[in-house]
Amino acid sequence: MLLAVDVGNTNISFGLLERGKLVHHLRCESARQRTADEYAIVVRQMMDLYGIDPKKVDAAIVASVVPALTETMVAFIRRGFSVDALVVGPGVKTGMPILYEDPREVGADRIVNAVAGFEWAKSTVIVVDFGTATTFDCVSKKGEYLGGIITPGVQISADALFARAARLHRVDFAVPPRAIGRNPTQSIQAGLIFGYAAMVDGLCARLKRELGDDARVIATGGLAPLIGKETVSIEEVDGDLTLNGLYLIHKRNVA
């Protein structure tokens, strides 16, 4: 069983895959102060909760955008499962040429998403990830990573709004009944949900003009199901896209 770990700025996803199929998806907070031993306890407890035998884990791969946690993840996997994890980074075979000016500056999660997105589309693809930042990653018809767009995430934008506007209160992320809000809650929700959906459609349209109108669009990330259905550009939402990409990269490095 492969343990795939996606370390984000807000959350860490732990995927357990057998023969390329994701059988369990566990999550916890990206707590930089936790030690490798503490993460081992947290993950083993989550596995116990779902009746997962830790002895079945015989391989691991990590993609991290939090440098302070990368070695912590490697250490916790070695101690908890007696496995040396493959870390996505320079020297790892992705099967995808990176055409960024400096490939080392591309976040590991963006490359992993691009690999999984291209596997889904088999052609030109835009991958939209609704994470701490909302990212748009572009892959050519030849399977080359071209680059993309980084924007503030929905939660970051909401936090900034509530912090700077004294009379506005926090709201749930939910689709309001109409774009014209009849109260502050609906007005904020319309701005966050419809506003980001419009941004996604606008940026995807601009990217397609550069890539070619046949580019396909897939989305992932926590708010992808909510915002994705309010867009016209997103064809597919896959909450497990990054973990599936990690499986593909691991397979290409052990074959």
Residues noted as catalytic? 109
Q: What does DSSP assign to residue 103?
A: G
Question: Which of helix, strand or coil describes residue 209?
Answer: helix
First to last CA, the chain: 15
CA dist list (Å): 197 to 18, 152, 185, 239: 35, 14, 18, 17
Q: Kindly state the tokens that stand for 33.
A: 């102060």
What pairs with residue 4 in β-bridges?
Answer: 15, 61
d(CA 29, CA 202) in angstroms, rounded, equals 32
Which tokens is 16 given? 């357990």
CA distances from 176 to 29, 152, 188, 224, 225 (A): 28, 22, 9, 16, 15
| CA–CA–CA angle 244, 242, 29 (5° rounding) | 125
